[in-house]
């Protein structure tokens, strides 16, 4: 569920698709709340990274931000929020940390004013890519959040070549394995990290053969410099227009792909979702985050995820990487 950051600093659920999604998720959450351990959260922010810095530097906008967060809890009966600030720049490091600190303080005050026993849940996100993940004070951030979700689908960073947009290993940029190792080795707290798994894909137009595939790299060149891509969902109205036998599997990146009519399709299927879930268990990662459940088709990917027991049996902060 998303509440988008507005130009005046406030956050709200926009009319249309976001409202529809929130209403659907509220119904599901209402049924699922029979499990007392379930927490319902809402992502706050959006894909426009420029709005956060301007909000933080403007006292009026920041006041609007905090007030509207309070209203989200009133309107939607949620247990927490995720600060969804994508692509934090180096110049915004300190302000990013300050925002997380101030939001935690605000949630604590809200909890006390309501006489609530449990703390509200707070989380944030980070990119797996080196140029963004190093712009977050991860060890300081983890003092204030319950968990940090590492996004695995930052396709915007693919330029002349395109490839799997959520490669477990290898790939045209930092792989999921590279990113998760960085966060675990830096924080020493794998239990507070989530591995993001996209339930959607992307199709790149104007691509051409040959597929470049060596030990650490898997990609195809694009014919034009102009980016040309679109989302590729599993759900029925945007469903797959191919048969399973057309799909290829790339062993190094542990991802499926399809190349047809100068279009390169990168997406998740049952095999790749299971691979990511098994990776999270093997590396003792705290959990997984799905983006997004309603993009699945007949629970095909959810069932693949459920087939893996994510509990590793290890101590929650046992490190399964060579951090030397």
What's the whole-number average pLDDT of the chain? 84
> Is residue 2 within 8 Å of 21, Cβ to Cβ?
yes
pLDDT tens, position by position, 19-68: 777 777 777 777 767 777 788 899 999 777 789 999 999 999 999 999 99
At 236, the pLDDT band (50, 70, 90 cuts) reads very low
Burial of 129 (0-12, 13-18, 19+ CB in 10 A): middle
Helices (DSSP H) in 77-214: which residue ranges? Answer: 93-114, 130-133, 138-141, 176-187
Q: What is the DSSP letter of 100?
A: H
| Ranges 112-116, 139-143, 208-212, 257-261: which has the least confidence | 208-212
Q: How far apart are the first and last CA of the chain?
A: 39
At 192, the pLDDT band (50, 70, 90 cuts) reads very high
Report the DSSP beta bridge partners of residue 43.
2, 82
* Check whether domain 2-198+269-306 has CATH 3.20.20.80, yes or no: yes
Give the E-state strand segments of the chain in sequence order: 2-5, 11-12, 41-46, 80-85, 121-127, 147-151, 161-162, 193-198, 200-204, 212-214, 217-221, 229-233, 248-250, 255-260, 263-266, 287-291
List CB contacts of 102: < 8 A, sequence separation 6 or more.
Answer: 62, 66
What pTM, to 2 d.p., does this model score? 0.88
Domain positions in the chain: 2-198+269-306
Of 280, 160, 269, the closest CA to residue 217 belongs to 160
**pLDDT above 90 (res 291):** no
pLDDT tens, position by position, 148-184: 999 887 655 455 567 788 889 885 567 899 899 999 9
Of 126, 127, 121, 128, the closest CA to residue 144 belongs to 121
| Whole-number pLDDT of residue 262 | 80
| Whole-number pLDDT of residue 156 | 52
What number is the average pLDDT over the span 237-241?
50
Q: Comparing 113 with 226, which gets the higher pLDDT? A: 113
């Amino acid at each position: 569920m998303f509440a988008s950051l507005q130009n005046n600093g406030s956050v709200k659920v926009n009319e249309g698709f976001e409202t529809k999604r929130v209403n659907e998720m509220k119904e599901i959450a209402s049924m699922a709340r029979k499990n007392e351990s379930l927490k319902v959260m809402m992502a706050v922010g959006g894909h426009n990274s420029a709005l956060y810095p301007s909000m933080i530097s403007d006292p009026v906008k920041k006041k609007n931000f905090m007030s509207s967060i309070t209203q989200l809890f009133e309107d939607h009966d949620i247990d927490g929020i995720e600060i969804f600030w994508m692509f934090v720049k180096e110049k915004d490091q300190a302000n990013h940390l300050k925002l997380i600190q101030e939001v935690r303080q605000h949630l604590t005050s809200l909890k006390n004013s309501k006489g609530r026993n449990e703390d509200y849940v707070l989380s944030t996100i980070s990119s797996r890519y080196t140029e963004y993940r190093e712009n977050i004070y991860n060890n300081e951030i983890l003092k204030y959040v319950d968990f940090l979700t590492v996004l695995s689908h930052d396709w915007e960073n693919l330029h002349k070549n395109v490839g799997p947009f959520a490669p477990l290993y290898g790939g045209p940029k930092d792989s999921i394995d590279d990113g998760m190792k960085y966060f675990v080795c830096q924080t020493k707290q794998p239990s507070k990290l989530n591995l993001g798994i996209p339930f959607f894909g992307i199709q790149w137009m104007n691509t051409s053969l040959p597929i470049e595939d060596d030990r650490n790299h898997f990609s195809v060149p694009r014919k034009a410099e102009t980016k040309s891509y679109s989302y590729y969902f599993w759900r029925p109205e945007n469903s797959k227009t191919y048969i399973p036998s057309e799909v290829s599997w790339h062993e190094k990146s542990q991802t499926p792909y399809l190349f047809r009519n100068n279009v390169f399709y990168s997406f998740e299927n049952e095999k790749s979702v299971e691979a990511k879930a098994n990776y999270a268990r093997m590396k003792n990662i705290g959990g997984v985050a799905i983006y997004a459940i309603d993009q699945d088709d007949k629970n095909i990917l959810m069932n693949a995820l459920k087939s893996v027991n994510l509990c590793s049996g290890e101590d929650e902060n046992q490190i399964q990487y060579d951090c030397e």
